[in-house]
């Protein structure tokens, strides 16, 4: 059943869902989107489904609207967030209607068996020669803040460093990024690769991952880079500090500080030994903390384990 934003007010759809939950004796319902939790959550609440769980992976605070207050207070029993930052953003606006105990953190994980066994085929990368390769793989959107990356490239060029920046991805800002590359005179230093299907092959060919995003729910790219033994330079925003260990697996910089960001990248560019040291620690950290099997175990614990959230009585249900 397709649920639009107005499905919340569609009594027929809600009744149909409620009857389905009741007739099938559904015990757990997982929601992934805002429309799901508003209409589907209401139906599950009315059907007295014991576990009504919302998985949230958006690094933005939900609005403190009347419907969100009702949803998080009554329709949901629990929330699973993909980072502590996502959890805190929920509490920042809706902390009066949902307690911290009802929000559980489960990080995204990597299946390292599949990741390590990816065939190194189908991708053709440039030959950088003896240049240090600085990489970024992301959607080409304002959130990913590519202008700062281009400014870092400009400063590295001014310092006479021997490097290339590889940008992998597609998106609405492609032409804007090309404009910045030309404007800041780094055409010989920045390579636009377009979409790549084999992220592991990309990560293995770069030397440093740079990540100037303005916000992230969970920086999966950071984990992939560390899993391949690459040091990170990123902004100290959102969930990045939960992934990157500052001073050990990478360097976290205050947002907008181009000079410090460039200095951090330059230190890795100038020191292969530093790259290797941080990379080795990053590989160990990624594989111990962000393994898919561990994340699945934690997810199952919260979804299938004893109900620990606040008691939400069926007498609150509306028809």
pLDDT at 314: 34
For 19, 88, 98, 122, 234, the CA distances from 214, given in Å and listed in that order, are 43, 17, 27, 31, 10
Q: What is the CATH number of domain 114-290?
A: 3.40.50.2000
- How many Cα atoms are found within 13 Å in the side-chain-facing hemisphere of 308? 14
Q: Tell me which of 80 and 5 has the higher pLDDT.
A: 80
Q: Which CATH architecture has domain 5-107+294-316?
A: 3-Layer(aba) Sandwich (3.40)
pLDDT at 4: 55
pLDDT digits (tens, 9 = 90+) for 141-173: 999 999 999 999 999 999 999 999 999 999 999
d(CA 54, CA 203): 32
Mean pLDDT of 293-310: 78
| Residue ranges of the chain assigned to CATH 3.40.50.2000 | 5-107+294-316, 114-290
pLDDT digits (tens, 9 = 90+) for 191-215: 999 999 889 999 999 999 999 999 9
Dihedral through CA 4, CA 5, CA 7, CA 8, nearest 10?
Answer: 160
Instruction: Give the other-Cβ count within 10 Å of 306's Cβ.
Output: 5
Q: pTM for this one?
A: 0.81
């Amino acid at each position: 059943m397709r649920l639009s934003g107005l499905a919340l007010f569609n009594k027929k759809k809600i009744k149909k869902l409620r009857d389905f939950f009741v007739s099938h004796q559904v015990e757990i319902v997982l929601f992934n989107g805002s429309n799901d939790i508003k209409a589907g959550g209401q139906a599950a609440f009315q059907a007295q489904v014991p576990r009504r769980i919302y998985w949230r992976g958006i690094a933005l605070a939900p609005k403190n609207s009347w419907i969100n207050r009702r949803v998080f207070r009554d329709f949901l029993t629990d929330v699973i967030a993909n980072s502590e930052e996502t959890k805190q953003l929920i509490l920042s606006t809706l902390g009066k209607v949902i307690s911290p105990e009802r929000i559980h953190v489960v990080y995204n994980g990597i299946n390292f068996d599949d990741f390590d066994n990816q065939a190194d085929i189908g991708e053709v990368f440039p030959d950088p020669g003896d240049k240090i390769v600085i990489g970024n793989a992301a959607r080409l959107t304002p959130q990913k803040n590519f202008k700062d990356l281009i400014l870092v490239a400009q400063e590295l060029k001014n310092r006479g460093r021997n490097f290339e920046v590889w940008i992998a991805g597609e998106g609405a800002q492609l032409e804007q990024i090309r404009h910045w590359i030309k404007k800041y005179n780094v055409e010989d230093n920045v390579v636009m690769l377009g979409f790549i299907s084999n992220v592991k092959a990309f990560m293995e060919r770069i030397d440093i991952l740079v990540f100037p995003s303005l916000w992230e729910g969970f920086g999966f790219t950071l984990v992939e880079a560390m899993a391949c033994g690459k040091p990170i330079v990123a902004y100290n925003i959102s969930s990045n500090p939960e992934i990157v260990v500052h001073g050990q697996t990478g360097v976290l910089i205050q947002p907008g500080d181009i000079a410090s960001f460039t200095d951090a990248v330059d230190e890795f560019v100038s020191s292969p030994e530093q790259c290797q040291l941080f990379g080795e620690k990053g590989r160990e950290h990624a594989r111990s903390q962000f393994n898919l099997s561990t994340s699945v175990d934690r997810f199952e614990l919260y979804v299938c384990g004893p109900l620990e959230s606040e008691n939400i009585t069926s007498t609150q249900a509306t028809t």
